[in-house]
Structure 1
Amino acid sequence: MAEFSINSFELTDKVVLITGGASGLGRYYTQAVSRVGADVFVVSYDDKGWDETRADVEANGRRVVFLKQDITEPGAAKVIVEKALEAFGRIDVLINNAGMQRRHDLVDFPDEDWKAVIDLNLNALYYLSHEVAKVMIKQNSGKIVNIGSMQSYRAGKFIYPYAASKHAVMGLTRAYADALAPHNIQVNGLAPGYINTPMTKALQEDPVRSVEIREHIPAGHWGEPKELMGAMVFLCSAASDYVTGVMLPVDGGYLLR
């Protein structure tokens, strides 16, 4: 039996394709994988954060290539995979990170917001996973990491399509894990808890809801983005080769209560 090595957490010379990898939590995931040796292909809706993300990756001695692409457009998945293969010749890891949330009262929820959220959070994730899986099957190796949420487990009042999409992401993660395991491809999810980011600033400043959330977290505080980075490296690396079909919460214990 091979001895355990700390090198199993490295991604030296691996290629990671990530959607939404230049802003928000996605930028931290990009930092994390490049810090342990990966080159990164970042797909973004716009060029926001590209310069800063390029500096992050190059400071770690790795390459990054950007593609401006709306991943919800018909045929986008094929374009993304073709461009990634042109740039790097292979895809070792796919991180399906891009997502959105829309909030309304039930009776006022617009059909167009339902469609927008489902198209990005679920449909685009499926189509890109499908195209990347074809590449990974030929390689007989690969990792797919889908970004879930606390709403993969909970009701998600007022954010109906978001809750529906994140529940579906968990189901798709399990189904793909089962189908791809014979090809040495592991499919898992990462479910961030309540994390301190600019997107959650308004919620953190809500005098009632912020207290409710903090009191619901056994760790007693909101998470910091850096606290997701180790879990992401684990799921992308050989250290998790015998882990598949799991949605890993990184939530300070939020789901325990």
Structure 2
Amino acid sequence: MTASSSLFDLTGRTALITGSSQGLGLALARGLAQHGAAIVLNGRDPAKVEAAAADLRAGGARVTSAVFDVTDARAVTHAIAHVQETFGPIDILVNNAGIHRRAPLLEMLESQWREVLDTNLTSAFLVARAVAPGMIARRAGKIINVCSLMSEIGRATTGNYAAAKGGLKMLTRAMAVEWAEHGLQINGIGPGYFATEMTQALVENPQFDAWLKLRTPARRWGKPEELVGAAVFLASRASDFVNGQILYVDGGVLASL
């Protein structure tokens, strides 16, 4: 192994990726596994999590499952303790769990607001709060919060999502301010528009598809595997002096009016 490639080697490290039974979370789990990490998959549907785990194991990855609701503080605490007792310390945490409930603000139900904030923002606090003490004790750890273009810009009907992702950007920086001195690196990835299960309705909408391709300088949707490089960088030794940053992977959207 060359010195440059060893910077990105994750062998011997364990990564927990929340919301990783499908979509971007599963793509990130697969990518980290391909670079040597042992993987802890998370989701609320046991069947979907186990199917994803079987898929990764077929590729040679060391994988375990952690089925719990990331918005339930007690469940988070118990699950993290169990994982670390049975599978080993968590060296890398990717807070990826997220949902979308679109509605104009004047029509948005309080339940839609709270569900998105709880899942996309509060869960990152709860899971990181459970994982960080072990990292601090070892004076090493990587936390990657999956933010969004909506951490910077808004669009009609996405007020709850934008509020959550904007908050996640600032939570990332707050974590870095408090925990960097203990040897942790906490950063974010900001995906642009990626073709996943969550965005399938938009991909199949000709009007939105055309608008998105005109709005994106790369003139296309992102592919889930194209997020892996950023995650591996932020999970590896290559980012040991990078803290509190958001790396946008968006095909150039934020660079363009």
TM-score (norm 2): 0.94
Moved more, 95-104 or 41-50: 41-50
Does 2:36 match 1:45?
Answer: no
Secondary structure of the residue aligned to 1:107 is: helix
Q: Do 2:104 and 2:159's aligned partners in 1 also have CA atoms closer than 8 Å?
A: no
Q: Do 1:20 and 1:43's aligned partners in 2 also have CA atoms closer than 8 Å?
A: yes
Q: Do 1:35 and 1:57's aligned partners in 2 also have CA atoms closer than 8 Å?
A: no
| Within-5 A mapping of 1:170-209 | 170-209=169-208
Query: What is the CA-CA distance between 1:106 and the residue it aligns to?
Result: 2.1
2:190 aligned partner, one-letter code: A
Query: What is the CA-CA distance between 1:20 and the residue it aligns to?
Result: 0.9
Aligned twin of 1:119:
118
Q: Do 1:22 and 1:48's aligned partners in 2 also have CA atoms closer than 8 Å?
A: no
Secondary structure of the residue aligned to 1:199 is: coil
Secondary structure of the residue aligned to 1:130 is: helix
Work out the CA distance in 1 between the residues paired with 2:142 and 2:211: 36
Q: Which runs of 5+ in 2 are unaligned?
A: none
Does 2:253 match 1:254?
Answer: yes
Aligned twin of 1:102:
101
2:150 aligned partner, one-letter code: Q
Query: What is the CA-CA distance between 1:4 and the residue it aligns to?
Result: 4.5
Query: What is the CA-CA distance between 1:211 and the residue it aligns to?
Result: 1.3
Secondary structure of the residue aligned to 2:54 is: helix
Query: What is the CA-CA distance between 1:120 and the residue it aligns to?
Result: 1.1
CA displacement 1:53-105 (0-9 Å, x = unmatched): 22333234332111221121231221121011122221100000101111112
Does 2:151 match 1:155?
Answer: no
Work out the CA distance in 2 between the residues paired with 1:234 and 1:185: 14
Work out the CA distance in 2 between the residues paired with 1:4 and 1:178: 30
Work out the CA distance in 2 between the residues paired with 1:7 and 1:123: 34
Q: Do 2:71 and 2:126's aligned partners in 1 also have CA atoms closer than 8 Å?
A: no
Aligned twin of 2:227:
228
Q: Which runs of 5+ in 1 are unaligned?
A: none
CA displacement 1:142-199 (0-9 Å, x = unmatched): 0000000110011132121111000000001011112111111000001111112232
Q: Do 1:65 and 1:87's aligned partners in 2 also have CA atoms closer than 8 Å?
A: no
Work out the CA distance in 2 between the residues paired with 1:109 and 1:48: 32
Aligned twin of 1:67:
66
Aligned twin of 1:76:
75
Work out the CA distance in 1 between the residues paired with 2:40 and 2:172: 22
Cα gap change, 1:62 to 1:209, in 2 (>3 Å): closer
2:236 aligned partner, one-letter code: S
2:249 aligned partner, one-letter code: V
CA displacement 1:116-146 (0-9 Å, x = unmatched): 1111111111011112111100010000000
Aligned twin of 1:91:
90
Secondary structure of the residue aligned to 2:7 is: helix
Q: Do 1:39 and 1:62's aligned partners in 2 also have CA atoms closer than 8 Å?
A: yes
Work out the CA distance in 1 between the residues paired with 2:51 and 2:92: 22
Does 2:156 match 1:132?
Answer: no
Work out the CA distance in 2 between the residues paired with 1:154 and 1:234: 25
Aligned twin of 2:238:
239
Q: Do 2:20 and 2:49's aligned partners in 1 also have CA atoms closer than 8 Å?
A: no
The aligned length equals: 255
